[in-house]
Amino acid sequence: MLESMPGRGERLRFGGIKHTRHPASQERKMSSYQTEAAVPRHESSCYTVWFRHGAERATVCGLIVALLGGLPSHVAFAEQAPGAATPATSSTSPQPSRPAITRADLAAAYLRLEQAFFCRPLPPEEVARINKGFDQATQAFFLGSNAEAIRRIDSLTESLEPEERKPSERGILSLRVIVDPPVLLANTPQQVVCRVTSIYDWPAHDPTTSDLRLRLVGPQDRIAMERSVAVPLGKGSTIDIRVLLEPAADRLAPGLYRIELAPDEGHGVAMARVHVIDGAALDQQQLANDKRLQQVDVRQGQLARALAICRARNRLLSDHPSEDNSAQFLADLNRLASDVASETSALESGKNPYWNRPGDYWRVLEVGTREIPLRLYVPKGAAGETPTPLLVVLHGMGGDENMFFEAYGAGLIKSLADQKRLIVASPLTYSFGSDIKTLHALIDALGNDYSIDRDRVYVLGHSMGAGAASGLARGNSDTVAAACCIAGGRFQPAQDSAPILVVSPELDGIVVPKRLQESARQAISEGMPGELKIMPDYGHTLAVGAILPEAIDWLLRHRRATSP
């Protein structure tokens, strides 16, 4: 909201998502916020709000507001998501409170939609409908209405699935399962409590009780155990059911398991993960690794960086992984524990365990005293002596370093990296920002482990990440060969800027397409090297997966114009 302040500028109400990371535990949390601030009126100014809370550091990347001619440029948010319910007072006795919605809940709904949307071609009118609906869900998310956001996303997912599914099968998406404990020991008899609750009221016309199957499903889709559970579905139904699973020891081989809910006949929906660990408990393994790593004597150089990476990866090992830290809730903790143990042994032998390491893994980038979370993918053919192009991808607000590898086209970036022989690095955008020194630090760090073609370093960003990408490209053609900005960015002609492909989804409900296009056209007409592409039928976020193949081909046609 803008309030006029004659002679002083504008008064802005900022709303968005606050990300916090505790320095000791590294646990990350997300919450919504609103605040107001008086800001001066400047042409093409950009404002980012920062908060600091005691022992926690919080970076707030809410509405990054650009003022063009005194009006908010690009960003468009409603005061309330269309169709969102207005809170009302009630004199009735309070219902039992639902557990807080976590990043894992939001991620599960989003990933289900991505998989349903990108698994097959859709007619243009369906593409447009889904994109408009997802942008409305995004607005609800930014306004802190997480249950409403998930409800809208689930409704879109259901609309893409076969209509012959039973009502009880559709209602499953409104539920969640909380598992205690989420980490078990292999070949050991244990009890698992599964708490079935609702995220939102499923909009059935009449309340009904559905007989569902709750399953513990292991590797190769082997059912380790299942129980029946009667779940009341429908508006006003209070769901808080605890189901006890006691799988036999010989049914718990090491591996990654999932908890499913399914109707008596039909496909199950994955609701939670269970990690069955080989060896000691993860907390014990983490402590043992930490003691060994403390004895590794490296003070600088390549092994010092490798030691920092190994320590950060070791901190992810926990018997109670956080559902607000995607580096934990998306990980296969059994595999991670095995990898960290091997990495620790390599460091004890004076070897760098990340030297030419292929595959997909999580690590950190040290920049001064900061550690920036980073997801990296290296195709098998790229781990060698031949210089390989590097693509740095920057996610949008509300996302994190795992978003490009799990979403944005259901993880399409990895198959494109295989096809094009690209190393892909996805840092946490909030920490990475648009400082060229941070990009130099990333290139140097990866250059110690891989053969990077420094003439072909590319940056691609979405929304907030597009703003960072445009900043990295501006005036830095000696580092960045080309950049792509999807649904965002700040554009102005500058000497020695890298070429920029600006992608504007025509139905964008978050960033105003007309203003983004006008800004890009003006900068290009004034000398900014680049192109503008308008995407019909697509909205703010789902456009990323659709444009990635074309965007990467465009980037790869460019090389660094000058040498440093």
| Sign of torsion over alpha carbons 387, 358, 421, 465 | negative
Percent of all residues in the chain with a pLDDT value above 70, rounded to a whole number: 79
- Give CA–CA dist 127/117, Å, rounded: 8
87 pLDDT above the threshold of 50:
no
Mean pLDDT of 170-177: 88
| Sign of torsion over alpha carbons 332, 338, 339, 343 | positive
* Structural contact between residues 257 and 216, judged by C-beta atoms closer than 8 angstroms: yes
**What pLDDT does 205 receive?**
55
The token duo for 201 is 């009221």
277 pLDDT above the threshold of 90:
yes
The token duo for 12 is 């802005």
- Give CA–CA dist 392/483, Å, rounded: 9
**What pLDDT does 207 receive?**
63
Mean pLDDT of 59-77: 32
- Give CA–CA dist 120/134, Å, rounded: 18
Domains, the chain, ranges and CATH? 2-73 (no CATH), 172-277 (2.60.40.1930), 356-556 (3.40.50.1820)
The token duo for 219 is 């590797």
In 3D space, the residue among 212, 10, 43, 175 whose CA is nearest the CA of residue 101 turns out to be: 175
- Give CA–CA dist 366/431, Å, rounded: 11
- Give CA–CA dist 556/481, Å, rounded: 9
**Rounded to the nearest 5 degrees, what angle is found at the Cα of 511, between the Cα atoms of 85 and 52?**
75
HEC sequence for 216-268: EECHHHCEEEEEEEEEEECCCCCCEEEEEECCCHHHCCCEEEEEEEEECCCCC
**What pLDDT does 206 receive?**
59
**What pLDDT does 305 receive?**
94
> pLDDT averaged over the chain?
84
* Higher pLDDT pick, 126 / 4: 126
Residues 4-35 pLDDT 10s: 333 333 334 444 444 455 544 445 554 544 44
**What pLDDT does 384 receive?**
78
Q: What stretches of 316-401 show up as alpha helix (H) in DSSP?
A: 326-329, 333-348
40 pLDDT above the threshold of 50:
no
563 pLDDT above the threshold of 60:
no
- What is the number of residues in the chain? 564
**Rounded to the nearest 5 degrees, what angle is found at the Cα of 248, between the Cα atoms of 245 and 250?**
140
Mean pLDDT of 542-551: 98
**What pLDDT does 493 receive?**
82
Residues 477-506 pLDDT 10s: 999 999 999 999 999 887 789 999 999 999
Q: What stretches of 282-411 show up as alpha helix (H) in DSSP?
A: 282-294, 302-315, 326-329, 333-348, 403-406
- Give CA–CA dist 105/126, Å, rounded: 25
HEC sequence for 150-204: HHHHHHHHHHCCCCCCCHHHHHHHHEEEEEECCEEECCCCCCEEEEEEECCCCCC
Residues 149-170 pLDDT 10s: 999 999 999 999 866 666 666 7
- Cross-strand bridge partners of residue 179: 194
Greatest Cα-to-Cα distance within the chain, rounded to the nearest angstrom: 75
In 3D space, the residue among 398, 391, 384, 440 whose CA is nearest the CA of residue 416 turns out to be: 391
Most confident of 50-64, 224-238, 252-266, 345-359: 345-359
The token duo for 297 is 């004597």
What letter represents residue 533's amino acid? Answer: K
Residues 445-472 pLDDT 10s: 999 999 999 999 999 999 999 999 999 9
In 3D space, the residue among 165, 492, 104 whose CA is nearest the CA of residue 327 turns out to be: 104
Residue labelled with tokens 């091997």: 342
The token duo for 26 is 């590294």
468 by DSSP, 3-state: which?
Answer: helix
Which of 145-149, 170-174, 188-192, 219-223 comes out lowest in average pLDDT? 170-174
Strand intervals (E) in 61-132: 65-68, 71-73
Q: How confident is the model at residue 146 (pLDDT cuts 50, 70, 90)?
A: very high
| Sign of torsion over alpha carbons 515, 520, 524, 528 | positive
Give the CB-side neighbour count of residue 358, counting CA atoms within 13 A: 13
**What pLDDT does 36 receive?**
42
Q: What stretches of 238-301 show up as alpha helix (H) in DSSP?
A: 282-294
- Give CA–CA dist 361/17, Å, rounded: 26
Q: What is the strand order of the sheet 223-233 is part of?
A: 183-185, 269-277, 255-263, 208-217, 223-233
308 pLDDT above the threshold of 70:
yes
Mean pLDDT of 176-205: 89
**What pLDDT does 63 receive?**
34
Q: How confident is the model at residue 236 (pLDDT cuts 50, 70, 90)?
A: low
Burial class (CB in 10 A: 0-12, 13-18, 19+), 544: buried
Between the CA atoms of 483, 486, 490 and 496, what dihedral angle is there, to the nearest 10 degrees?
10
126 pLDDT above the threshold of 70:
yes
**What pLDDT does 168 receive?**
61
